[in-house]
Chains A and B, each alone.
Chain A
Amino acid sequence: DAGITQSPRHKVTETGTPVTLRCHQTENHRYMYWYRQDPGHGLRLIHYSYGVKDTDKGEVSDGYSVSRSKTEDFLLTLESATSSQTSVYFCAISDLGQGEQPQHFGDGTRLSIL
């Protein structure tokens, strides 16, 4: 299995509070991704990174920011959480940006915002 660790695995917080999710990899892969999974929507890309300090937006990036200061860590931050951001969040990694190498996923973080 790809070495991907997401933390925390579960979190409950209140509207308006800041939240940071962490994705840590031990594979030294260049590309890292954050997705959210909601019923009826499948997985949707929030942000991705193609190198240290190189990030770009996905299709549902509003209300989220990311940072990547080291190859192994990709952080997702909700500056002021809203109930619409209640979701399951997945991190993924790949060594090549296109489909030559599939993305491998972490185990997900269930985030509930009350």
Chain B
Amino acid sequence: AQTVTQSQPEMSVQEAETVTLSCTYDTSENNYYLFWYKQPPSRQMILVIRQEAYKQQNATENRFSVNFQKAAKSFSLKISDSQLGDTAMYFCAFIGGGSNYKLTFGKGTLLTVNP
């Protein structure tokens, strides 16, 4: 079974600085997808970024980028120029590329951006 581990329950960063959230996963599959979702206090689940395992290039979306290390099974999220609106719970998630349709989530990292 796949597992996703986020080892940092809480983190904080000053506005305009850069922060990195960690995620590791365990799988025997070779083809899969990884995601970061953001959950602000409004409780919505918002997709931040997506990475395909067969692509070596790290995904980027504006101020958000990932460091995908397939051999190490690591998928960290870097937030540059942090903004107050980035304050949220961040979840790392995994889905296998086979017939497994199930999205497996980590337990989340609560990020607070301080003014």
Physical interaction between A and B:
yes
Interface residues of A (CB under 8 A from B): 31, 33, 40-45, 48, 50, 58-59, 88, 90, 92, 97-100, 102-105, 107-108
Name 12 A/B residue pairs within 8 A (Cβ), A-sorted.
A42-B107, A43-B93, A44-B105, A48-B101, A48-B102, A92-B103, A98-B33, A98-B100, A99-B50, A99-B97, A105-B45, A108-B45
Nearest chain B CB to A79's CB is how many angstroms away? 23
Interface residues of B (CB under 8 A from A): 4, 32-35, 37, 43-45, 47, 50, 52, 91, 93, 95-108
Nearest chain B CB to A109's CB is how many angstroms away? 10
| CB-based nearest B residue for A41 | B107
Q: Which of B34, B45, B104 has the most CB of A within 10 A?
A: B45
| CB-based nearest A residue for B6 | A42
